[in-house]
Each structure stands twice: as structure tokens, then as C-alpha cells.
Chain A
Amino acid sequence: MYKYDEIDQQIVDERVAQYRDQTRRYLAGELSEDEFRPLRLQNGLYIQRQAPMLRIAVPYGMLSSAQLRKLGDISKKYDKGYGHFSTRQNLQLNWPKLEDVPEILADLATVEMHAIQTSGNCIRNITTDQFVGVAPDEVIDPRAIAEIMRQWSTFHPEFALLPRKFKIAVSGTKNDRALVQAHDIGLEFYRDSNNQVAIKVWVGGGLGRTPILGTVIREHLEWQHALTYCEAIIRVYNLHGRRDNIYKARIKILVKALGIDEFRKQVDAEWAHIKDTENTISEAELARVAQHFDVMPYENVPAHDAGFDAAVASNPAFAAWVKRCVHPHKQTGYRAVTLSLKPHGQAPGDISSEQMWTVADLADQYSFGELRSSHEQNLILADVKLSDLFALWEKARANGLASPNIGLLTDIICCPGGDFCSLANAKSIPIAKAIQMQFDNLDYLHDIGEMELNISGCMNACGHHHVGHIGILGVDKDGSEWYQVTIGGKQGNDASIGTVIGPSFSADEMPGVVQKLIEVYIQERTPEERFIDTVRRLGVAPFKAHVYAKNEVAA
């Protein structure tokens, strides 16, 4: 993965000094609450219900074992001994003290980490597929360009105070796993007819209050122009995006208001002036950064391993884990492994300091000292030999990291919700836990099959409920907590936004509602159908009918 040189290190060190002084001025009363807010936000610090919340950047989801170990130390020393992986691949601490943040940042800087632009109205952390670099369906590894974009967007002077937050996702696979259509800009890398690396550019996607999938603004962009073309888009947005109403301030609203053709025209007019200027990426820079993402020093191992095959055959628990948590790999004899942060009955995405240390050790032992975080809020060891899988599983299991539920109903994506977040309408974590307990039967879960269930505590949609096969949204009715249910949302190339099934439910009703949705699916499905396929084929009506049917309410 990318390693800092002195220039990168100097920038994060100078950031620590800058933020230390900003905090000092705030505590001394020299900065008002309103003036300090954007400064702390651009450093990932929210003030929340219980305490501040600090969001630490994990650029495109890549972590080294040394970094994760340090994150374990930091959450032990400055927090309550755990952290939370978010749907944007970052790590959040829920209980740091405002006064400690400069120290935390200084600690992070020792392992080439920071919290720069993890919040606020600026270009945020760039996200991608968690299987980047190892997925068999990958055409281009976009990490080098993602890193170049990370550097370019860091303290970009023109885009320091945009109308609203700005999120970029990159993807280089046939099957999109990075949700490029749900981002302000999505860059989809492919090889064009001349076998050159090119980018299909999506713009104006976003979830939140007004969920909109992005539109293609440019089918073919040569990679050299990634920065200047994004500058053209963001300049048009910076000048013309709506600042008068926070709910209409995202780029998606501007794109919708102008129409994609007019928006494209303005962007192209802007780009005509800046195309080929100095921010054009050079071959040399791409090569310099790309070498950090060279293929791992894989061993030459066979495609099959007798010990592994025997363990799968004789150990059903191991076999279940392999089925759900082990993923195909480009390299013969290797696999990618998801360590589930979704054990039933715990807050999805939470991880203790001890678990962080364990995962760091596992990464060192089995996966070249690197790992990734996923937007589904799990951790991935990307390069594990077949013959190591059993030993890895035993250790992961002993540390609560081997729930065989990846991609199943209980692999819930969930925001912090009312337990932590001051914007929440309703709690989300207890709903996730209750559903996990309702479906705490592995055979049943496997029978239900692939399922994405996403929960957000309010319409800001941090839990991506719009694109969940089942989406749950916390709503406020006369001051009490209710939940609205959507079905038929999906991420990926054929992304869609879910449809509301009807009036909302109380917290107690939620596990039962999910149960009923599943019952309809089980009854109606064809042998090959996943839940989402059945919903798409039948529409909402039969699900709605069963969920709201009065006579079926248990006595």
C-alpha cells in the first residue's frame, strides 16, 4: 500500500500543528462556536449526544497492520476501548475528548494517518471496492489514481468550502462494489477499444434526504485528465450549487435543476480552459504511486489444498464460514477473507481494541501485513493462502470475528442512530440487534440466502437504507420512534432505490415485519431467485399484503 515520503509526512505533521492551534484558540475563546465548527468538522470532529465523535480517514479502505494496531491503542487510551467502522470505510471513535484530539492526531501521524476532510463541506475520503487489487473481475486497479486524488483533494484551496460535502468513489471492476452511482462523482475505470485506461464518469448521485442515482456525464475520459475534469465539475458546483438551503445544496440537486445536458455543457466549457494544465497526471507520477500497489509477493501454490478440502468436508462450521466469508482471488491458491464485524446481538461495525490488535496480528501472519475495511462495515484480509484458511478461521472464531453471515440477512449495515447521533429520529442499533437475534439460526439464514438489510436512524441515510434489499428508516411521529420499511433497493451496476411498503412500525414490531417479508419470499421464490429478484419480479404488493394483513396478527 501507499507509504508516505517526507512531503506527505510534513503535510500531516503541519496539520496536527495547525489543528492544535485552532483547538487552543477555540478553548481560549478566540474562535466562536460557529467559526470553530467548520474547522473541527474538516478534521472529522462532530459534537454528538454523548461526546464528540472523531472520524479517522482510511483512504480507499486500505490499512496496514501497524495502523490498525495503533488504532487499537488510540481507542484504548482516548476512548472506551472500541471503535466503529463506518459505511464510508472510515473508523469512528464515539467518546474522545475535544481537548485530546490534537494528541490523537499526533499519534495517528506516527502511522501515516489523519482525520483530514473526513467531514465538513469539502472533498471527503475517496472510497472503493474492498476487494480492489485481488478481485478476479477487476479490470483496472484504481488505487494509484485514488491515492493521487487523495493528495490532490487534500487542502485543495479552491474547494475548501463547498456548498456541501462531496464524495468520490472509484471502481475498476465489472461488477460495481463501490456504489459509484451513489456518489457525487463516481469514476468507473475500464479499458477502452485501444486497450488504454479510461474512465466513465458519473455525477450527481447521493442518498440522504433526496436519494438520486448518478448520471453518466462522460463515457470516456483518459486517466491523465482525472484531476482537471473533476476540477471542472467541482468548480461549476462550487459557483452554482445552492448555498441558500442546506437540503438542496448537494451537487445532485444542481444537476437535476440544470439537467444533465446543460450541466455537462457548463463543465465542458470550464474544462476546455483547464484541460492539459499542470494538474494533468503524468505517466511518471502514476508509475511512482502505482508501485506502492504492486502485486504481493505471492508464493507459487496449487489451486487445491488437500488439508483445506478435508477440513471443509469434515467440519460444517468451517464449511459454513468458507461459504460466506471466503472470496475468490486473482491469484491461484489464494483467497480473500472477510472478518465479520456483525456477530449477532452487537452493534454492526463495532470492534474492540483487543480485536484490532488480533486482526493486526492475523494480517501480519496470513496476509502480508495489510487489510481493508468495507462499506458493509467489515474487515478484509485480502491475500490468504488456501492452506492457511483453517488456522485463520480458528483464531478469528476465538476472537468473535468469524460469524459466517457475510452477505446474509444479519450482515446488517447500520448507522450509529439515536444511541450516539444527535440528528437521529430513532435508534438503529437496537433494531439491528433484535433482527439478528430473531434470525439467530444459521441454517435458516443460509436458506434465506443473499440479503442486504440496511438501517438509518434518520433521512440522512448514513446506513444506506435506500439501497438495502430491505431498508429501515427511523422516523419521528409526535416525538416517538417509528420505523419506515422499504424493499427493492439495491447497490451495484443495476442499482435501485427501494419502495416504501406502507405506514411505519414501532421498534417491537420490526423483527416480526422482517420475518413476514422473508415468509413471502420463501413462499414465492423460484429456485434461483434471491430476495431482491423476487421483489423485482412481483413488486411490493404481495409483501405489503402479508405484512399488513390484520387476521395474521398473532393472538
Chain B
Amino acid sequence: MSNLIKLNNGVASVVEDDWTLVQLPATQVEERKQAGKVVLFKLTGETTVTDAQIADTAIPATGKIILPLSVFIARNDEIKARIAQGEVGVWLATHELLENLTQHQADLNALPIIAIFVERFADGRIFSLGNLLRTRFGFKNELRAFGDVLRDQLYFLKRSGFTSYLVRADRSAQEAIASLSDFTKPYQGAVDEPRPVFKRYNRGA
């Protein structure tokens, strides 16, 4: 069963996923430690993908695919025709720089989907990335969160411009839908509703 929640005109439902998410081949990564603790988060801008990984990534020959940003950039020539067909989307991880995408793909709206991978739910960079894609770079198509996506972050993801959410496999997407509407009248302007509450309602003199 699919674990993908999609917003359609503001209505959320669990839908089948017609995109194939292309992963980088795994590498041996050394555990990094700081102050005696295992480092859980990657630094913003840190290079984490090797040339070998990019070269070894298996790009399916047909169908709608979401490619890792590094592969999308390095092997762009191979997929030009498919981009034009609207069969290619891009995903990036929360530590990757949006500028790398926008520099290589001037028209983001040629991509039917951009997905952001959040390795740990506590990584709030995903919210700023969603916001920037929508408000700074004018991205209008599907914006998806995947990875450690849990129901208690859905409301914030929605407000930050995300329109689909691939809920972590061991959790119920159906139950998670309820959390998209935890709050009815948010205070501050954000992506889904740019006007703060004081510009939406007459709160009395």
C-alpha cells in the first residue's frame, strides 16, 4: 500500500505514487564523532556524494523518475529529452544547497516535482528549503517531503509549501492526515497563507 499523502486543492488523501525515486548507491561512510557523540546531521553545503556514486547510479530507462541532485547535474546530457517530456524530477537532501539546483536548472517549473530528503525529522532546514523554493524561486509544481517524515511535522511542512508527504514506511499515512489540520487559524503568514492573522480577520479595534 502507498504511504504517500498528496494535497489536491487543499484536500489530502493517500494516493499511489507514480514516480520512481532514484537512490545513490551506498558507500562506506565512516562514523564521525564530536564531543564523544556520533554526528547525526550533515553540515549545510558539505559534499557527501562521490563521483563514483554518481557514475554508478542506475537511471531507469523509462518512466517518471526523481533523480538525486548530483546525478541530475552531472549526467544532465543523458536525460535532456526526458526532462523536456516532463519525466524527470529532482531530489536533494536538507544539507544540499538550493543554489546548486537553480544554477543548473534556470526554469524550475520544467520539473514536475522536487523532493526534499530529511534524514532525521528534527532537521528543520527542510522548512526553509520549502519556503525558499516557493517564495524565492517560484516553484509551482509538486513539492514532496520524504525520509523521516512523521505526522507531527506535516502541519509545518504544509505551511512551508510542501504538497506531498511520503510518510515513513512504518507509520500509517491514513492516520497522519489528521495532523495536517492541527490548527485552523495560524497566526503568522507562511507559504500556504502569506497573510498573518491580523490581515485575514478583523480582530476588533
Nearest B residue (CB) for A8: B187
> Shortest CB–CB separation between residue B163 and chain A, in angstroms?
14
Q: Are A160 and B197 in contact (CB under 8 A)?
A: no
A18-B182 contact in complex given A161-B123, A246-B37, C-beta closer than 8 Å:
yes
Q: Does A273 contact B (CB under 8 A)?
A: yes
Decide: B122 and A121 in contact? CB cutoff 8 A.
yes
Smallest CB-CB separation from A5: which chain B residue?
B203
Please tell me if A506 contacts chain B, counting CB pairs below 8 Å.
no
B152 touches A22 (CB 8 A): yes
Q: Which residues of B contact A239 (CB under 8 A)?
A: 44, 125, 128-129
Instruction: Check A159–B189 contact: CB distance below 8 A.
Output: no
The contact string, 1 if C-beta is below 8 Å from chain B, for chain A 278-304, is: 110010110110010000000000000
A349 to B129, CA, bound (A): 42
Give the docked Cα–Cα distance between A287 and B205 (Å).
8
Residues of chain B contacted by A243 (CB below 8 angstroms): 40-41, 43, 123, 125
Please report the C-alpha to C-alpha distance between residue A322 and residue B202 in the assembled complex, in whole angstroms. 46
Which residues of the partner chain A approach B203 to less than 8 Å between Cβ atoms?
Answer: 5, 7, 285, 288
The B-contacting residues of A in range 113-161, CB under 8 angstroms, are 121, 151-161
**Complex contact A14–B189 (CB within 8 A):** no
Partner among B122, B190, B196, B204 whose Cβ is within 8 Å of the Cβ of A38:
B122
Is there contact, CB below 8 Å, between B128 and A235?
yes
Q: Does A425 contact B (CB under 8 A)?
A: no
Which residue of B40, B127, B194 is within 8 Å of A158 (Cβ)? B127
Segment at the A interface, from B10-18, B79-87, B153-161 = B153-161
A278 in complex: contacting residue of B39, B128, B196, CB < 8 Å: B196
Q: Bound state CA distance, A35 and B196, in angstroms?
A: 30
Query: What's the Cα separation between A243 and B124 when bound, in Å?
Result: 10
User: In which size bucket is the chain B interface?
Assistant: 35 or more
A486 within 8 A of B: no
Given contacts A5-B203, A245-B39, is CB(A161)–CB(B187) below 8 Å? no
Q: Does A247 contact B (CB under 8 A)?
A: yes
B35 interfacial contact with A, CB 8 Å: yes
Residues of B whose CB lies within 8 Å of any CB of A are 32, 34-35, 37, 39-44, 121-125, 127-129, 131, 135-136, 150, 152-153, 155-160, 179, 182-191, 194-199, 201, 203-205
Q: List 25 A-B contacts (CB under 8 A).
A: A11-B187, A15-B183, A18-B183, A35-B150, A155-B155, A155-B188, A156-B188, A157-B188, A157-B191, A158-B127, A158-B156, A158-B159, A159-B127, A161-B122, A161-B153, A240-B44, A243-B125, A245-B37, A273-B135, A273-B136, A274-B135, A278-B189, A278-B195, A282-B198, A288-B198
Q: Which residues of A are at the interface with B, using a C-beta cutoff of 8 A?
A: 5, 7, 10-11, 14-15, 18, 22, 35, 38-39, 121, 151-163, 227, 235, 238-240, 242-247, 273-274, 277-279, 282, 284-285, 287-288, 291
